Structure 1
Amino acid sequence: MAKILVLDDDQSNAEVIQLALEDQAFIVTSICHSDQLEKTITDFQPDLLVMDILLDKGDGRELCNIIKKNTGTGHIRILLITAMLESQALKVPSLADDIIFKPFDYKNLHQKVCRLIS
């Protein structure tokens, strides 16, 4: 069973995404503070990270690039989520495996997640 970590600084968003993914039988944990990311990755060892771009402390695209460039975490698939316009979101280069724009359909989220973890 795939393990998914959700990072969104809006707790209600994180919880809704977590519930939607758990409903699809994934093992999911969520956090709301970017400073918890490193420890949670170490402890939880996710297969996929679903991460918002606009975070409490930092930019999800930059955190994504740090994770992807690290030999210990570079294998983790990353799906960025954002309410930004596509042109804004793509201004900062990112090594993310995919991106989804808010508001999104949970069926689309599920399809992207399944593709990334297969």
Structure 2
Amino acid sequence: MNKKILVVDDDLFMLRSLELLLSDEGYIVHLVDKSSLIKESIVAFNPDLIVMDIRLDDADGREICDKIKNSWLTTEIPIILLTGLSHQKISEFDCQADAILGKPCNYDTLLHTISDLLK
């Protein structure tokens, strides 16, 4: 069975790029461009993994990540956060993400991280 990945970003170009990349790798991809749609998308899509930008339309991806990780229903879903912030700033993050990658992200690194988290 193909693994399902929920991609959350308010940048439509980034969403489409990730959709093409992940679909080509055989993943089933669901896109969300508004933070208000994340909760219902998780319930409806039941993802195996979430890739989410930190800076969303009206929310902070780190806070959303922690809410997901603190719910017993979704705590086991691996989350990769993407950010345009510097590596120094990334190292200062205090959140429960399974991985944090810089943007623009290296697609090979992203795919390797996804593969590792889905094992």
Uncovered stretches (5+) of structure 2, i.e. residues with no partner: none
Is contact 2:3–2:28 with CA below 8 Å preserved after alignment? yes
The amino acid of 2:118's aligned partner reads I
Give the match for residue 42 of structure 1. Answer: 43
Q: Deviations over 1:16-56 (max 9, x none)?
A: 01110111000111111000000000000001000000010
Could you tell me the percent identity over the aligned residues?
37
The amino acid of 1:94's aligned partner reads C
Larger % of strand: which? Answer: 1
Instruction: Give how far 1:90 is off.
Output: 3.9
Could you tell me the TM-score, scaled by structure 2's length? 0.95
Is contact 2:68–2:75 with CA below 8 Å preserved after alignment? yes
Q: CA RMSD in A?
A: 1.0
Q: Which runs of 4+ in 1 moved over 6 A?
A: none
How many residues get paired? 118
Give the match for residue 58 of structure 1. Answer: 59
SS in 2 for 1:40: helix
Give the match for residue 82 of structure 2. Answer: 81
Separation in 1, partners of 2:22, 2:107: 9
Instruction: Give how far 1:107 is off.
Output: 1.2
